[in-house]
Structures are given as structure tokens and as C-alpha cells.
A and B are shown apart, each in its own frame.
Chain A
């Protein structure tokens, strides 16, 4: 992760030295929807649902000119999904599991953006990728195991990450779009939507014939960035 950050910083500095653009930096935060995708291991009573989490970022953008920019930064993102299980017992459907899982990541994105605007209002679309590291995994909810009190469902439980079996590395591709309003030289307020498609499974390949488990996210964020230097 550190090497990726150094490499990225070097790349951005190199690009900026060749062009007469401007740097933007800011803060961004928003809501993240998580979509769980599992390849294999289907069973009748088991279902997965949308997860809800949030993200916070320090975005950095190099605007090469009026329509092309490169965006990066560092981001914390929560990727969440729901998991539930029902079964039939004496003619009734019983729900014995209802767990919300949240995986926590630090990420470095890199996207290339195309912008269109009239000076005050700017719209952009972008595409790129990200690399990240998973540092925490938590779950909350009912698992209905033996002698676990009902109150346990209200507590977040830490799921120990094992580097031998859990994939701590995350990487994927990004598609994004946004709309910003510039306050002359004071900065820009913007609203963005970003879809992240994970190319790395949650589990390492430590066994033959694994079931692939992935979390994709759709984020809606609000951010503010201000110019650091360079030409407008």
C-alpha cells in the first residue's frame, strides 16, 4: 500500500511537471451501498441483501486543462452487505440468521476524468481503478447459535482477519460521474456518484474449488475541493 502511494505521488508529480495545470485538494464524504456477489454455494434459504456504510476521503486532483484531469487521494470506505437464512420447521418459515457484515478498507483510487462546464458549473465523468487494504471486518446481528443471548444481536462483533485465508488486498475498477459548482477562486463544491467493481475476492485462494465472494459498491458523496497552485 505504501509503495503504491509513493508510486502514485511520483506519477502525479511527473505529470504536473510536464503540464501547466492546477492542483485541487479537498475533503469528501458520503454514503456507500454494498452489493455482495457470491459465485457458487447457493442454497435455498440463504439470501444476501444491500449493505449500507459510509466513506471519507481526501481527494487530490490534477487538472491538466479545462476538460482533462487525473484524480486520486486516499479514502476510507466501508463495504457492507446483509446475510440472512430461513428454513422450514413444522410448517413454518423460521429466520435464524440476520447478519450485517461490514468490511473496512483504506483505498487509493486513480481515475481519469473528462469535464464539461461553463466556468461555474462543471460536470465530469471518469474511469479508472483502485487498490486498497482491508484492515477490519465486523458483523452485527442474529446468528442464533447455542446459548447466545438475544442481546448479542445488538453488538458489533470483530471478525479476526487471518492473512492466510482472508484476502487483505483489494483492487478493482471505478466508474464515476459528478457535478460541481465553483466559488470563483475559493474552491468547488461537488456531488459525485461512483461505482466500484472489485476484481479481488474476499478470501485468498487457499483451497481448491473455492466459492468466490466479492463486494461492489455504489457511493454518493459530497465534497469540497480548493485549488492548491498552478494556473487556473
Chain B
């Protein structure tokens, strides 16, 4: 009897130990070879990357490891020198994988040492934009173009975010069509590094004398300004009402909430502001809100929201800007994050909701949204919100211009907030990637694809025309509004 009980117990104990241990992650100090670094990065991507249902959905990510690990092993110890052949080869392997990821925010940052300015990066969004630019010139994208894009990453003399082939930097929509350029080319406002019009008042509604507007104000924050540890230098914001009563709003990033918080903390005392421009941003934003909360009462016939070149920013800005358009709390997207380190282990989809306004009304005027290939993140969230306004309430909304970037996931820089998201390793100084995946409320994913303009409202970018005061996309948006009046 005792012997039988002991045998049974041993069988039970054997079964109990049938839970294998989890993956063995190498100590960071042990990562000295390219193979070691690749393996650590492959494992970190397993747990930190959220787009596995889009990228390698057939679980081919395991094949990537099987294929690349032996190649990395041939490259031996890491030599921290961009001119070293094996270093270039290894980085080329990383580049060839990263460039095809769907993640529109993704940035693979690498540095051979901690010297300022030594960091390089690969970003799939910029790669896709470069491909689109080449094809827009009428020729096919070739291996030589691919090589040129890779090699440009190593131009350490250039500003970090501009290490691209020269023609792409000078002539592409992605690099050239942004708020500052729109103000200069389309509205005749040259701001250089910074500048502010006087804030419009009842007595002087267009102090900057912007042509074509009966009311206008703008601000461009100087370089080097920061708020709450975030760089807000270069933030550009324009709000105006045209001579034909169309409200036009253009801004470079979603950073209003930081300026408003600065004003709130300073309790309006200018000397206590952390950024000298917060007062102007606050005043202009207040003007925008005053108009949009009663557009009909303010004689507004339509709204043009210009998100071209808008790189996104604070999610908190979305309700501040758009709630006045929404008659009630409106789900416009769905979001999920990782539940465990396993690649396709996710939380349930949750609705992202745009809070409605207090009046329970819609402005009831046509809305034109202008976008291009650099309209990303909060810009695309905004587009989705207005798509929901149209789909759910029948609002007159048109998406005009160019296809958006396809970068819809939110990000955080705070350690430990979520399983997924940004991470770093030795030499790989940062893999910048969202902690969650979002899709439009009907389940459509635009990650890596972008949201196309409405049929009949797609206008190809013409750099020559744009820089010679012809903004066909803005004209189309204004024409859309006029068609209702």
C-alpha cells in the first residue's frame, strides 16, 4: 500500500513539474556579439511589439530568428564603429526587417557609443514615404534607392531627423508640406524661427494682416522651449476666419494641453510661466473654442482643419479640440494592449470615446479635414473621430489631400506602465514603439497603411506649385465648404 502511494505521489510530482520555465533572457552585460544582440532584440520584440496580427500573422517571426541568427553569428563580436564592415552588415540586417514593419511610429535607434549625435535610426514610416516619393516622380523604386536610404542614415553631419536622401528632403510632401510651410507658402506668413501675431481682438481682428482673412492669429514657439520635460520648440498654430466666413485651423502638433496647463499652474501670472509663448497659445486657443462652441452664432459657414505635416502629440488635446463637434460621447476607435509577453496575448478591445459637448448639439456645418503622409498619431485619431461623426450622425465631413501616415498606436516614455512599448538594449538605444494597437471603431486597421482621402478628394502633392503659392489641397477644401453655401 505504501509503495503504491509513493509511486502515485512520484507520478503526481512529475506531472506538477510539467510547466516549462519561461524564456531565458540574457543579462545585458553578456551582450557582446551581434548574435547575442539580435537574439535579445528578437525576444524583446516578442513582448513589446503590439502589431503581430498585422506583421508576421502566420507566426513567421520565428522563421526570422532561425534565418538571421546564423547570419549574425558569422559577424562575431560587436565592433562599435559605423565604418566597420560587420557593423554595417549587421545594421543592414536590422534595417531590412524594421523597414517593413507596419508600426507607423516605429524607430529603431542605434549608437556605437554614447557620443552626442552619434545615434542613427531606421523608421518604417519614413521608408514608406520615401518609396511613395520615388514612385510619385514616375519611376519604380529600386534596390539602389533602398541602398541610398540605408546609407543616408549614417550621415551624422545632418540633423538627426533629416538623415535622408537629399531629393527626398527637398521635394517630398513628407518633408516639406507642414504647418510652417503652409503658413509661408499659402498664407504669406514667414515666421523663421519664431513669432507671434498680436492676438486678435474685437477692435483689431486681423493684427497680422493675413490676406484673405477677416480674423486671424498665429504663433510659432521658438526653438529650445520646453514644457514638462517635452520639447515644444517649433510648435506652430494658426486660427482664422476667412473673408467668406470659413474657420481655418492649422497646427503642427497636439501640444495645446501643455501650454494650457502651464497657464493654469502659473494662474495667469506671466512671470511664473515656464514657456513665454503659453499666454499667446492660450489666448488663441480660447478664441478657437469661443468660435467653435457656437459656429452658427458666430456666422461660420464651415470649418477647415489642416493636419498636413502634423506629427501628433498629447492625446489629452483631442477632447479639448474636437468635443464641441460631438453631440454625445462617441466611440470612434478601439484599443488593446499586451496581456503577457507572448506575441499574440492581448487584452480585450476597448472603445476609445470622444466626449460629447455639454449642449448635446452638432455644429451642423461642413467640415473639411486636410491630411498628408506626415499626418500621424493624434492627427489620424482626429480623422477617425470625424469619420465616426460622419458615419454615426451623418455630419458633412470630407477627407481631403493625401493619405495619412498609418501610425495609430499611443506611446509612453514612462517605464513599467505597460508590458508593451518602447524598450532599449545595449547599443540599441531605443526602440520607439506604441504600447497599444488601435483600429477604427468598425475594426478596420490603418496601421502601416494610412487613411485615404475621400474619393474625388485625393490631390497629389506638387512641390513646385506648393512653393509658388498654389495650394491645390487647401483650394479643394475651401471649394468643398463653398459647395454647401
Contacts and interface: CB of A to CB of B under 8 A. Distances in A.
Interface string B349-382: 1111111000000000000000000000000010
Interface residues of B, number: 53
Interface string B125-152: 0000000000000000000000000000
A46 B419 contact: yes
18 contacts: A37-B19, A39-B21, A41-B341, A43-B419, A44-B416, A45-B416, A87-B417, A145-B335, A145-B336, A146-B436, A147-B315, A147-B352, A148-B335, A199-B15, A201-B19, A207-B46, A211-B23, A213-B340
Nearest to A214: B19
B347 A143 contact: yes
Nearest to B46: A207
B62 A211 contact: no
B283 interface: no
Interface in B30-53: 43, 46-47
A110 B70 CA distance: 48
A197 interface: yes
Contacts of A40: 21-23, 341
B16 interface: yes
Contact of B414 (A83, A87, A101, A203): A87
Given A148-B351, A158-B348, A207 B62 contact: yes
Contacts of B417: 85, 87, 96
Contacts of B315: 146-147
Contact of B415 (A87, A99, A201, A207): A87
B350 A157 contact: yes
A86 B416 CA distance: 7
A184 interface: no
B348 A139 contact: yes
Contacts of A212: 19-20, 22
Given A162-B344, A211-B341, A152 B351 contact: yes
B23 A149 contact: no
A125 to B, nearest CB: 12
A60 to B, nearest CB: 24
Interface string A50-69: 00000000000000000000
The 4 closest A-B pairs by CB, nearest first: A40-B22, A209-B23, A157-B348, A87-B416
Given A147-B315, A148-B353, A207-B62, A199 B18 contact: yes
Contacts of A208: 62, 65
Contact of B416 (A43, A137, A159, A162): A43
Interface string B400-427: 0000000000100011111100000000
B337 interface: yes
Interface string A128-165: 00000000011100010111110010000111101001
Given A39-B22, A147-B354, A148-B351, A209 B43 contact: yes
Contacts of A162: 344
**Most A Cβ at <10 Å: residue of B8, B333, B348, B414:** B348
A203 B344 CA distance: 9
Contacts of A145: 335-337, 350, 352, 410, 436
Given A88-B416, A145-B335, A207-B62, A159 B348 contact: yes
A157 B414 contact: no
Interface residues of A, number: 50
Given A37-B19, A209-B43, 6 more contacts: A38-B340, A46-B419, A145-B436, A165-B342, A208-B65, A210-B22
Interface of A: 37-41, 43-46, 83, 85-89, 96-97, 99, 101, 127, 137-139, 143, 145-149, 152, 157-160, 162, 165, 173, 197, 199, 201, 203, 206-214
A141 B47 CA distance: 22
B190 interface: no
A46 B337 CA distance: 14
A41 B22 contact: yes
A207 B347 contact: no
B345 interface: yes
Residue of B43, B333, B349, B418 with highest tally of chain A CB at under 10 A: B418
A99 B347 contact: yes
Interface centre among A139, A145, A203 (most CB of B within 10 A): A145
A121 to B, nearest CB: 25
B353 A149 contact: yes
B163 interface: no
B329 A149 contact: yes
Contacts of A160: 348-349
Nearest to B8: A127
B61 interface: yes
Contact of B20 (A39, A159, A207): A39
A173 B347 contact: no
Nearest to B349: A157
A165 B56 CA distance: 13
